[in-house]
Structure 1
Amino acid sequence: MNQKRKTKKLNRPLVLASVMLGMFLAAIEGTIVATAMPSIVADLGGFSLYSWVFSAYLLTNASTVLIFGKLADVYGRKPIFVGGVIIFLIGSTLSGFAFTMEMLIGARFIQGIGAGALMPMATTIVGDIYNKEERAKIQGYLSSVWGISAVSGPLLGGLFVDVLHWHYVFWMNIPLGILAMIGILLFLHEHIEKKSREINYLGTFLLFISVSSLMVLLTEASHLSRPNLFKVLIAVTVLSFVLFLFFEKHSITPVMPLELWKSSPIRIANVTALITGMIVIGVSSYLPTYVQGIMNQSATVAGFTLTVMSIGWPIASTIAGRLLLRISYRQTAILGGISLIIGSIFFYLLTPIKSPIWAGIGSFFIGVGMGLTSTTFIVLIQSSVPWKIRGIATASNIFMRSLGSAIGVAILGAILNYKIYRHIQHNELGEGVSLDAFNQLLDPVQSDKLPLSIIKTLREGLALGLHTVYTGLFLLALLSFFLILFMKKEKNESI
């Protein structure tokens, strides 16, 4: 492929703008949906299925990102990006029309498939059309999408909930997705070499089964009445993953080339991305619930506390692009690891009597940590591999972060449900009070109908469960920092 000729025919600013708009679709899902979730639960019911609204999206996102990365290396970035937008918009439309929690979860499965193409394609397209020195700077621009989604997502989410209806948090994706498709179709010109069209669908299927069964296992772990189901899920998870590794090793076209994992920098970057994915989903999924359900603040205030995380993200990502050229990958990532620890400490010390500003400060440091680490890892990986595997290499890192988010929301959701369930039992609230009582607690109108003693006990249980979740975030931040320290030192590097 003549990379120089391809680059000359590109209108890079317009391609970048279209890519950023496509990324915005997936980026805003975290902040805008999390802000609207208390109202969604209050409307549709099913508090016990709360975490599955996120898990469904993350599950199909994590399970499909690798195959889309592989398909992009074969067919090119444009058709995969456009196809991802179409699937994402179908899921968004169905989500907005959902009238039960189960229907919403099903629509989120479809949305997640589309997002599985959007994120890796956006990052890979940038890796294709910009050189190493430019990438570090442009990745900062891409990360600014998180800042834009942070400012607009929670604000729009809060306004839609308070003024219009939560349906609009999904329907607003439709015009944006159409614009992103038009931009890529008109301005991205690829010259793809003819190559083998063989795709390892068996490996993709086995990976999907393994991740799916693990997700169900972790999400339903708090329901201890079905031990036989857990045994089956454990067996399916282990068996499908072992078979996946076997077929990957003997496949001509593996979904995730195992050679990537032989590179120490890529291996550490991917494993750390898994951990940081668990951290960021722990903040974005449950912070609005804490602010609304425990601090008794509005959806708009809850949105602001989440906004600052994604404001810190692009700022730090832009700074990281410059630091990478002045110091080193390792030192930049270490600064990110320190910031994650600081942010997690703020959440660990969070109490109902503290101001939402306290939670916002913690969110900001988490965002700074994510900006520094994620930008470092993407630039490092793309600079370490050639074009023919850049799509799958980039996708592998995004996959690990998505997998971390999927596992994180499942584990943290199970912990939260278990803690709340035990608190309800301990306080002997009666058979009429269950996890679904939190549907009323999160609804400003319905909560007024609950006795004050019940409200007090439910808030105490929710606070206890979320404190346990934030304790887990602190431990994960320590683990991510420990892994970053194992990154190989570069020349003239003293730490």
Structure 2
Amino acid sequence: MKLHKKTNRPLVLVSVMLAMFVGAVEATIVSTAMPAIAGELGGFSRYSWIFSAYLLMSTVTVLIYGKLADLFGRKPIFFVGLSIFLFGSVLCGFATSMEQLIVFRLIQGLGAGAVMPIATTIVGDIYSTEERAKIQGYLSSVWGISAVSGPVIGGLIVQYWDWKYVFWVNVPLGILAMVGIYFFLHEPKTERKVAIDYKGAVLLTTSLSIILFWLVEGGQSFNRSSSLSLLLIILGVALFILFIWIERKAEDPMMPFSIWKNPVILYANLVSLTTGVILIGVSSYLPTYVTGVMEQSAMIAGFTLTAMSIGWPIASSVAGHLLIRFGTFTVSFAGGISLVAGSLMFVAMTGESGPLWAAFSSFFVGVGMGLTSTSFIVTIQGAVSREQRGSATAANMFMRNFGNTVGAAIFGAVLNGSLMSAFRGKDLDYEVNDINLLLTEESRSTLGTTKMEILQQALDGSLQWVYVAVLLFAIISLLLILRIPRGKVVLHDNN
């Protein structure tokens, strides 16, 4: 492995982890501040779009940034992406309406698509396969730290300062990461002819934006069986098919489909899609179950979710050591078993199970995530050349993000449909929004015993269907993992 003599790997790693922390903490820190933001800016009906706008843009652009990093080098594209992200962060703090904040979150997401894949690709460039497997444990710990510290930092900022600083706190950390990358990472010069696939980039962005919009807003802004819904999904899929057709003929395609011919990469990416679905199912609805059905505080609900963030980095660190010894199949299979075990515990969970049961279920899912994600990213980065590493890493992260979006749509539809069915079945004059009354101790105290029992039974039964769906995706993940070639996969260190 040839490295530029001036590259300072430890300091580059610290800078990469800092950049990843800024990207990872964004979701949890903003979630905590959103009630205060909505209270000041109004526009509660657009509440979900504060998250959807960021998710849409970061998911759509991740593949494009991965390809650009392969063409022009990691540093310049990383700087462009992180600069856009920080610019959007500054603007978010100056928002005076919910509509403005949504636009600024789109700008933030436009830059965020570069941060995670390129940061991970940089690590793939400067470390060998054996080292990379161990370093992934450090990178995964960033997710755990952000999940634990994000709500705390967000809560302190809202309580003692102003919600604007929730966005502005990113700026000094992001600048510090850029300074570290600028001074300590030195990439080899490439003499590669650059051919930018503009058609592919436009078609990919347009098709995915339409499909993701349909997934996020379907059932809310418009009925999924409406003519508008049908038009959107047909247009999105048609444009994506056109994108694939053009990519196959492009001189230097935005998405090199040749890498998907490798069975390890194919099944690793498919499993990343299904685990992305599982992840959003657990993280979105576990706090609701713990507060609404178990009648626990928001802090206890946060603890049950934090258990997943503890299991994830621990498993990632272990996976790094096991991967070299046992290979991708064995480590990812163990992760698949852990996902199924955690999902089964969720299905078996009742209101009387208590928060410890919920925490252990969450922990097992976290272990499964850590084992699979680490083995996949290390294997994918080692299975392709340096010239394709950015695209391959970005494709894997895109599949996880896309799984999150698909999962949010599926589980939202399952939960709302089950709740409406429960209320209709008993001929009750309740609405889905009445469930909000279960989520705080103050609002629960305003409910009569009978109404609270009815609402809790409806929520419990509906979330059980969500967890059955989570279990189904865990089983699909395990079946896909069984398709991964056995034994140790031959990896390349062509840095």
Instruction: Establish whether TM, by shorter chain, passes 0.5.
Output: yes
Question: 1:302-335 CA deviation, whole Å, 9 max, x = no partner?
Answer: 3222222111111111111110111111101101
Tell me how far 1:457 sits from its aligned partner: 4.3
Structure 1 residues 460, 48: closer, same or farther in 2, change over 3 A?
farther
What letter matches 2:176 in structure 1?
Answer: L
CA distance in 1, matches of 2:322, 2:390: 25
Residue among 27, 47, 54 paired with 1:57:
54
* Correspondences of 1:285-434 after superposition (within 5 Å): 285-426=284-425, 430=429, 434=431
Instruction: Please say if 1:82 is aligned against 2:79.
Output: yes
User: C-alpha distance in 2, partners of 1:489/1:156?
Assistant: 44
1:175 and 2:172 are equivalent in the alignment: yes
Decide whether aligned partners of structure 1 residues 40 and 449 sit closer, same or farther in structure 2, where only a CA change above 3 A counts: farther
2:440, 2:369 → 1: CA distance? 32
Q: Aligned AA for 2:415?
A: L
Contact 1:215 1:410 in 2 (8 A): no
Out of 196, 200, 221, the residue aligned to residue 197 of structure 2 is 200
Contact 1:75–1:192 (8 Å) recurs in 2:
no
Cα distance in 2, alignment partners of residues 459 and 86 from structure 1: 46
Maintained 8 Å contact 1:35/1:288 = no
Q: Which residue of 1 aligns with 2:2?
A: 4
Q: In structure 2, what is the Cα distance between the partners aligned to 1:4 and 1:349? A: 52
Distance 1:403 1:459 in 2: 31
1:72 pairs, out of 64, 69, 74, with: 69
1:189: how far off? 2.0
Tell me if structure 2 keeps the 8 A contact 1:31–1:303: no
Q: Is the 8 A contact 1:51 1:409 kept in 2?
A: no
**Separation in 2 of the partners of 1:329 and 1:490?**
7
Aligned to 2:493: none
Equivalent of 1:109 in 89, 93, 106: 106
User: Does residue 486 of structure 2 align to residue 477 of structure 1?
Assistant: no
SS in 2 for 1:250: coil
Inter-CA distance 53–356: structure 2 relative to 1 (3 Å threshold) = farther
Q: Specify whether residues 380 and 142 from structure 1 end up closer, same or farther in structure 2 by C-alpha distance, changes over 3 A only.
A: same
Residue-by-residue CA offset, 1:324-378 (whole Å, 9 max, x unaligned):
1111111011011111111112222233333222221112111111111111111
How far the C-alpha of 1:51 sits from its partner, in A, is: 5.3
Paired amino acid for 2:116: M
Say whether the 8 Å CA contact 1:340–1:477 is kept in structure 2: yes
Corresponding letter in the other structure for 2:68: L
C-alpha distance 349-5 of structure 1, shift in aligned 2 (>3 A): closer
Counterparts of 2:159 and 2:325 in 1: how far apart (Å)?
A: 46
Partner amino acid, structure 1, of 2:60: S
| Structure 2 match to 1:119 | 116
Q: CA deviation at 1:217?
A: 2.7
TM-score by length of 1: 0.88
Residues 265, 206 of structure 1: CA spacing in aligned structure 2 closer, same or farther, 3 A cutoff?
Answer: same
Relative to structure 1, the CA distance from residue 91 to residue 452 in structure 2 (aligned partners, 3 Å threshold; closer, same or farther) is: farther
Sequence identity, in percent?
54
- Contact 1:58 1:403 (8 Å CA) reproduced: no
Q: 2:12 & 2:73 partners in 1: Cα distance?
A: 15
Does structure 1 retain, via aligned residues, the 8 Å contact 2:11–2:184?
A: yes
Q: Is the 8 A contact 2:224 2:230 kept in 1?
A: no
Conserved 8 A contact 2:148-2:306: yes
Against the structure 1 CA distance between its residues 144 and 370, is the aligned structure 2 distance closer, same or farther, given a 3 Å change threshold?
same
Q: Tell me the equivalent position of 1:17.
A: 14
Find the aligned partners of 1:472 and 1:118 in 2 and give their Cα distance. Answer: 31
Aligned pair count? 487
- TM-superposed deviation, 1:487: 0.7
Match of 2:260 in 1: 261
- Return 5+ residue gaps in structure 1 as ranges: none
CA contact (8 A) 2:420 2:431 kept: yes
- Cα offset for 1:146? 1.6
TM score, norm. by length of structure 2: 0.88
Local SS of the residue matching 2:484? coil
Asked if structure 1 preserves the Cα contact closer than 8 Å seen for 2:297 and 2:440, the reply is no
CA contact (8 A) 2:291 2:438 kept: no
Name the CA shift for 1:111/1:464 in 2 (closer, same or farther; >3 Å). Answer: farther
2 CA distance for matches of 1:114 and 1:54?
15
* Aligned counterparts of 2:465 and 2:171: Cα–Cα separation in 1: 37
Q: CA RMSD in A?
A: 3.0
Partner SS state of residue 383, structure 1: helix
1:486 aligns with 2:486: no
Partner residue in 2 for 1:144: 141
Distance 1:43 1:356 in 2: 33
Query: Could you tell me how far apart the structure 2 residues matched to 1:303 and 1:141 are?
Result: 23
Change (3 A) 1:321 1:69: same
Q: 2:251 — aligned with what? A: 252
Aligned to 2:492: none
Counterpart CA distance in 1 for 2:465 and 2:43 is 22
Residue by residue over 1:422-469, the C-alpha shift from the partner in whole angstroms, topping out at 9 and shown as x without a partner, is 445555554xx6444555654665665566655554444443333222
Whole-angstrom CA distance in 1 between matches of 2:428 and 2:45 = 17
Q: 1:215 aligned to 2:212?
A: yes
Shift of the 472–390 alpha-carbon distance from structure 1 to 2, 3 Å rule, reads: same
Q: Give secondary structure in 2 for the equivalent of 1:466.
A: helix
Amino acid corresponding to residue 384 of structure 1 in structure 2: A
